[in-house]
Chain A
């Protein structure tokens, strides 16, 4: 495998392109994935919050106004969809379980890189298209969203995706030891739904839980960027988000290397 930066860049760009092209191939699929699903989800969540605020004392909940929660309801499903990995994690786990990983092991690219770049390409194209939904909704309903803060928030999300991919990689390497790991994917993603703040804004959780959730890196997937762009919190939370993701990447990275090396040593290619 060539190790220069240019070779690395070209290789990964090609893989990102592959991720984009594969997902744009079936356009109807893509439209539902990027537009219809977010619109439906946002619509339902907005209606729920409107119903909640009909009876809210003094028109505020947890110190925030109706508009602040509507902004949350509009943006949280959008960010949650970007920062979750179902499709690529399932593909990776399937490669390990079925033995088709052999074809990747014999290529001049690592298994980790191969799927990371494809996933980033796919997430990038989905983000670009589906970003229109919350942006238009925010402008139309005059929601308290500071669009100037969006680039920094999106950068945090892209950084967080590396951590997400590491978790997917770790789950799929478990396939070397226990073959069937679908349940790990489901369990992990459902837990993240809660820990990231997508299901319920972390402000509304009991205080000790809110503190704990903010210490973990997973809140950087939804709550932290959303709290920043909606003006609930300031730059200090973003910095802490970047910091927690960084140390998590180091810890998880070490674990990934360990599991991968032991797993590959134990793995027997069956010629799939």
Chain B
């Protein structure tokens, strides 16, 4: 079973690589554009810290860890899923979803993994180095804490994957659903900021209800602050909760789906 999906994934990778390389100049500019986008996030906080010492509860070194971590997790998401989710509403509107649903493999896998963004791969390596560099600036950092990322990164990715997939599923319920993309980008901004800027009930919501704080804020806290085991426990539990809910919602949406007869 796993071998079958791995070989499929290899085929998807090869096809995506060939498609991306076809227009070389566009490909190079895409890589540059991704670096510009990631740089803007860094520049924002670098400029702000020229005028203040603490934002939320973090100084500049701690904030760099958070920013590189959020960009690292984002780059994985962009490589694996973003192109597929962007095309999702078109698949529903144009009826190509029928074709994908009929294939003899898991429909969620098919819809989320067909295209791989090769242009984001350099960003993945640069942000990974960035995380290590930023952690190196933290005095007396315990490097064994990095092992927690084995649980924390999948937890963060599950939030992005399930959130985006669930929003896209809703495209089945509407005729034209471009707004879902807009909504996603606005919501995702919640995760691009440290959770400490949100207070009280809103922070609770962002950790437990719409868990965007689990993308990078809580992982950064686990790395930078004394270990709080409830955070680790929640990080381990979260992917299971989200995927269970997502599966139920996906089945519900498919029951509502009427083919566009492509």
Residues on A facing B (Cβ under 8 Å): 26, 28-29, 31-33, 36-37, 40-41, 44, 47-48, 50-52, 54-57, 61-62, 178-184, 186-187, 190-191, 193-194, 199-200, 204-206
Asked whether, in the complex, the Cβ of B51 is within 8 Å of the Cβ of A199, the reply is no
Could you say which of B32, B36, B37, B175 contacts A26, with CB atoms under 8 Å apart? B175
Asked whether, in the complex, the Cβ of B44 is within 8 Å of the Cβ of A183, the reply is no
Bound-state CA distance A203–B91 (Å) is 45
Bound-state CA distance A235–B184 (Å) is 38
Q: Which residues from chain A contact B54 at a C-beta distance below 8 Å?
A: 54-55
The A interface, classified by DSSP as helix, strand, loop or mixed, is: helix
Bound-state CA distance A47–B33 (Å) is 28
Contact with A along B146-189 (1 / 0, CB 8 A): 00000000000000000000000000001111110011011101
User: Closest CB of chain A to B229's CB: distance in Å?
Assistant: 27
Nearest A residue to B57 via CB reads A51
User: Closest CB of chain A to B210's CB: distance in Å?
Assistant: 12
Could you say which of B47, B55, B175, B177 contacts A51, with CB atoms under 8 Å apart? B55
Asked whether, in the complex, the Cβ of A41 is within 8 Å of the Cβ of B193, the reply is no
Asked whether, in the complex, the Cβ of A61 is within 8 Å of the Cβ of B198, the reply is no
Confirm or deny: B9 has a beta carbon within 8 angstroms of a beta carbon on chain A: no
Nearest A residue to B34 via CB reads A186
Asked whether, in the complex, the Cβ of B53 is within 8 Å of the Cβ of A179, the reply is no
- A-B pairs, 3 with minimum CB distance: A183-B29, A32-B179, A51-B197
Asked whether, in the complex, the Cβ of A47 is within 8 Å of the Cβ of B179, the reply is no
User: A28-B174, A28-B179, A40-B186 are contacts. A178–B26 as well, Cβ < 8 Å?
Assistant: yes
The B interface, classified by DSSP as helix, strand, loop or mixed, is: helix
Asked whether, in the complex, the Cβ of A47 is within 8 Å of the Cβ of B23, the reply is no
Asked whether, in the complex, the Cβ of B30 is within 8 Å of the Cβ of A200, the reply is no
Q: Which residues from chain B contact A28 at a C-beta distance below 8 Å?
A: 174, 179
User: A180-B26, A183-B30, A194-B43 are contacts. A41–B189 as well, Cβ < 8 Å?
Assistant: yes
Q: A52-B52, A187-B36 are in contact. List 16 more A-B contacts (CB 8 A).
A: A26-B176, A32-B182, A36-B182, A36-B186, A52-B48, A57-B52, A61-B51, A61-B52, A178-B25, A180-B23, A183-B27, A186-B29, A186-B33, A190-B33, A191-B36, A204-B48
Asked whether, in the complex, the Cβ of B48 is within 8 Å of the Cβ of A44, the reply is no
Confirm or deny: B137 has a beta carbon within 8 angstroms of a beta carbon on chain A: no
Q: Which residues from chain A contact B28 at a C-beta distance below 8 Å?
A: 183
Nearest A residue to B27 via CB reads A183
User: A44-B190, A47-B198, A51-B197 are contacts. A37–B26 as well, Cβ < 8 Å?
Assistant: no
User: Closest CB of chain A to B115's CB: distance in Å?
Assistant: 14
Bound-state CA distance A56–B54 (Å) is 8
Q: Which residues from chain A contact B52 at a C-beta distance below 8 Å?
A: 52, 55-57, 61
Asked whether, in the complex, the Cβ of A186 is within 8 Å of the Cβ of B197, the reply is no
